[in-house]
Structure 1
Amino acid sequence: MDTWRKSSYSGPGDGDSCVEIANSATRISIRDSKDPAAGSLTFPAASFAPFIDALKDDAPRP
């Protein structure tokens, strides 16, 4: 059973504007904090940082 935690960047109020993360030595799973029953994405631990970097590269600039 995974232990899920919300990101420290979950936003104001009830903090439901973000994702939850569960990690182990070999994998990292993420899911929508507003709809956790909808499923999750699971990555090999070594692939997670490159995934986040790619998201940052594609983020719209202000």
Structure 2
Amino acid sequence: MTACSPQAKVLPISGDAYDKDRTAQHQTVTGTARSADTGIIAYTSALGPLTAELADAHRQS
């Protein structure tokens, strides 16, 4: 992977596939961004109410 500039930004967008391993998805995107020396990783939550399952996925990642 090519390094990014310190000004590079990553904004992962959560999908609606709640049955998938969201923790692994989040860890993959943040790990890749870190490996590329991304300056900023911003994260937004999913739309709608925060369910217990979704809250657990957020804490794990």
Assess same fold via TM > 0.5.
no
Question: Relative contact order (C-alpha < 8 Å, sep 6+): which is higher?
Answer: 2
Structure 1 or 2: more helix by fraction: 2
